[in-house]
C-alpha cells in the first residue's frame, strides 16, 4: 500500500519506517527542512535502538521517502496517518489539538481523490468527530479512523513487529478490511486485530496509559510504606505481581513516571472527564502523587548528605526518563539537577544518549563523556536511569574517596553486597530512610 505519515517525530518516523519494512511505500512528511535533509542523509533525529539501520535499508530500497512536499505525498498515498504532537496546553490539563486540526485543513487543500485519514497521534475522545466537521465540505472523499500506537520508547521496533493488539476505531465498518490488509503481516504473526468505534479507540489509548501510570504510582506509594515498616518493596511487587489478575509489569519502584505519554495522557484523560462531566478521581490522584514523587526523591539527598549541599560533589548516572531513549520529557533529572546546582552542589552527569541542552546553562553542572569521569571523587553517586552499562559497576574502582555514598533509585544493586563491600548505600522501597 501507499502511505503518508504526516510528522516525523517519534510516532511518525518509527511507524513509517516499520510500515516500509513490511513492504509498503511510505512518504514521511515534515515541515522541518533540516530534519528532512538529515533523514535523507541517513541521520535519524531520535535515539531508538535499531532504527538507523531500518531507515537506511528502506530508504535505499526506495520504499521510504522523506519530503517536505505534502501535496505530493498526499496525492501519491491511499492512507494518510496524522502523527503530529498533541501536548498539554501550558498550565492546564487540556490537550492542544491545534497541530492536528491544522494538519487536517492542509489535507483538505491537497485532496482530490478518496482517502483514508488515520489519527495515530493520541487524541481525546471526540477528536475524530471534530475532524469530520472540518472536512464536511468534502466529507464523501474521506474516512476517518482512529488507530492509536502502543510503542514503548527503546522497544519501539519490536513493539511494532510483535504488538499485543492492533486497535482500529471506525464508524464505517467497510474500512476495517482495508486496515486489516495493511496490518496482515503482523496479524499473521499473532497480533490481535481489535475493532471498535472511533471514540472507543480514542479512549482505549488514554485508558491504557493511565492504567499503567497508576500501577507505577501505586508501587511507588507502597515503596514509601515499605521504607517506614522495614519491608523490601521488591518482595511485595513479586508477591502481588505473581497474581495473574495483577501481573508483574510496571511494578518496579523508582522515580516518577515521565516521557512523552504518561504525564500528557493522564492529564488528557482527566480533561476528557471534565468535558463529559465525569470525575476521574483516581487518575487525578495519580497525577498529584507522581508530582510529589519527584520532589520527595530529589530532597531525600538531604537525608544522605545533610542540609548543606554547598560544594558537595554529586555524580549522576542517566538523566533520560528511561533507558534506550534520548527523551528527557518529564524526567526526574529535570527537577533534580537544577535543585542540587541551586543549592551549591557541583554536579557531573553522564548519559549514553549524550549531553542535554536542558543543563547547558546551569552553573556547577558538567556533562562527562564516560562513567569514570562522572563518578571520580564524588561524595554521592546517583543511579537515576537503568541503562545496561550501569548494572555491574565496580564502585570502588570508580571512586577512590573513602566515604562516598550511592543513591540507587532503580534498585540495581543488592544492599547486602554493598554492605559487604563497606559501601554506604541507599535505594528505594527498602528500609533505608526510616
User: Is there a contact between 123 and 204 (Cβ–Cβ < 8 Å)?
Assistant: no
User: Is there a contact between 432 and 303 (Cβ–Cβ < 8 Å)?
Assistant: no
Q: Which of 103, 226, 261, 375 is catalytic?
A: 261
Annotated catalytic residue 261: yes
What grid cell was written down for 82? 496524522
**What are 25's strand-pairing partners?**
2
User: Is there a contact between 28 and 66 (Cβ–Cβ < 8 Å)?
Assistant: yes
**What are 198's strand-pairing partners?**
none
User: SS3 of 188, please?
Assistant: coil
Q: What string of DSSP letters covers 380-402?
A: EEEE-S--GGGTT--HHHH---T
Taking Cα atoms as reference points, which of 367, 376, 369, 363 lies closest to residue 348?
A: 367
User: SS3 of 316, please?
Assistant: strand
Give CA separation, 121 vs 101, 265, 292, 360, in Å: 12, 11, 28, 31
User: SS3 of 277, please?
Assistant: coil
**What size, in residues, is the chain?**
434
Residues marked active site are found at 261
Amino acid at each position: 500500500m501507499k502511505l503518508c505519515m504526516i510528522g516525523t517525530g517519534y510516532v511518525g518516523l518509527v511507524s513509517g519506517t516499520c510500515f516500509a519494512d513490511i513492504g509498503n511505500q511510505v512518504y514521511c512528511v515534515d515541515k522541518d527542512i533540516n530534519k528532512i535533509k538529515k533523514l535523507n542523509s541517513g541521520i535519524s533525529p531520535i535515539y531508538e535502538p535499531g532504527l538507523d539501520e531500518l531507515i537506511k535499508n528502506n530508504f535505499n530500497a526506495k520504499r521510504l521517502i522523506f519530503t517536505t512536499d505534502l501535496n505530493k505525498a498526499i496525492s501519491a498515498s491511499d492512507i494518510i496517518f496524522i502523527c503530529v504532537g498533541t501536548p498539554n496546553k501550558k498550565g492546564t490539563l487540556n490537550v492542544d489539538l491545534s497541530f492536528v486540526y491544522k494538519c487536517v485543513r492542509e489535507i483538505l487543500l491537497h485532496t482530490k481523490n478518496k482517502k483514508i485519514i488515520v489519527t495515530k497521534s493520541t487524541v481525546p475522545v471526540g477528536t475524530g468527530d471534530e475532524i469530520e466537521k472540518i472536512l464536511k465540505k468534502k466529507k464523501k472523499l474521506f474516512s476517518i479512523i482512529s488507530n492509536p500506537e502502543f510503542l514503548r520508547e527503546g522497544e519501539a521496533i519490536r513493539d511494532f513487529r510483535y504488538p499485543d493488539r492492533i486497535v482500529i476505531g471506525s464508524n464505517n465498518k467497510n474500512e476495517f478490511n482495508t486496515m486489516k490488509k495493511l496490518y496482515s503481516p503482523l496479524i499473521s504473526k499473532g497480533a490481535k486485530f481489535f475493532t471498535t468505534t472511533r471514540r472507543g479507540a480514542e479512549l482505549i489509548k488514554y485508558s491504557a496509559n493511565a492504567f499503567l501510570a497508576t500501577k507505577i504510582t501505586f508501587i511507588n506509594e507502597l515503596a514509601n510504606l515499605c521504607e517506614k515498616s522495614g519491608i523490601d518493596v521488591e518482595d511485595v511487587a513479586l508477591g502481588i505481581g505473581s497474581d495473574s489478575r495483577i501481573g508483574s509489569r510496571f511494578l518496579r519502584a523508582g522515580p516518577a513516571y515521565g516521557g512523552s505519554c504518561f504525564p500528557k495522557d493522564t492529564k488528557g484523560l482527566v480533561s476528557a472527564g471534565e468535558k463529559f462531566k465525569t470525575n476521574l478521581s483516581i487518575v487525578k490522584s495519580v497525577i498529584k502523587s507522581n508530582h510529589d514523587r519527584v520532589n520527595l526523591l530529589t530532597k531525600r539527598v538531604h537525608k544522605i548528605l545533610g542540609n548543606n549541599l554547598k560544594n558537595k560533589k554529586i555524580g549522576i548516572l542517566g538523566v533520560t526518563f528511561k533507558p534506550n531513549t534520548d527523551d528527557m520529557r518529564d524526567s526526574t533529572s529535570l527537577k533534580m539537577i537544577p535543585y542540587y546546582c541551586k543549592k551549591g552542589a557541583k554536579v557531573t552527569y553522564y548519559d549514553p544518549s549524550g549531553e542535554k541542552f536542558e543543563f547547558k546553562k546551569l552553573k556547577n553542572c558538567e556533562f562527562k563523556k564516560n562513567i569514570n569521569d562522572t563518578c571520580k571523587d564524588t561524595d554521592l553517586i546517583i543511579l537515576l536511569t537503568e541503562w545496561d552499562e550501569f548494572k555491574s559497576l565496580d564502585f570502588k574502582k570508580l571512586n577512590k574517596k573513602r566515604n562516598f555514598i550511592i543513591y540507587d533509585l532503580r534498585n540495581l544493586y543488592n544492599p547486602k553486597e554493598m554492605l559487604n563491600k563497606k559501601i554506604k548505600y541507599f535505594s528505594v522501597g527498602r528500609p533505608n530512610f526510616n
